[in-house]
Amino acid sequence: MQHTPQMRLTTQRQIILEELGKVTSHPTANEVYDMVRKRLPRIGLGTVYRNLELMSDTGMILKLEVGGTQKRFDATVAPHYHIRCLSCGKVDDVDIPMISDINRIAADKSKYQILGHHIEFTGLCHDCSSVEEKVSIN
């Protein structure tokens, strides 16, 4: 018989969680590493990766598999949608209601057992829209 192992609340984990909770920017693992390192200078990048993975597995945080080259992390675990800037890669929340029916509709059309969905909008953020205007004037 095997008992469920305890996940220890180490200093590293507390601080990762705190720092992630402070921002709304959906940081990458490396950005979390930079944030945490200001308070724990000797933490390793591997530790950050291991713990972000672990915490997203247990549902304490959200791992965002959005487009782009890096995964991103979010302390807000309530389901919501995202938008990514095609120019600078920034990711923001989109505050529209969840489409609750869509999983059932998709289930009727698919052989998969559907467990969830995510919507990713793409576009240009305010800053990048302005820059594009300026560039296109030239």
Q: Are 116 and 104 in contact (CB under 8 A)?
A: no
Sorted by sequence, the CB contacts under 8 Å of residue 11 that are 6+ apart come out as: 40
In the list 17, 20, 29, 75, the residue contacting DNA (rule: CB under 7 A) is 29
Cα(63)–Cα(82) distance, integer angstroms: 12
Residues 66-125 that bind its own copies (CB under 8 A): 66-68, 81, 83, 85-86, 92, 94-96, 99, 102-103, 105-106, 109-125
Q: Which is nearer to DNA, 34 or 114 (CB)?
A: 34
**25 touches DNA (CB under 7 A):** no
Three-state DSSP at 90 gives coil
Asked if 53 is part of the footprint of its own copies (rule: CB under 8 A), the reply reads no
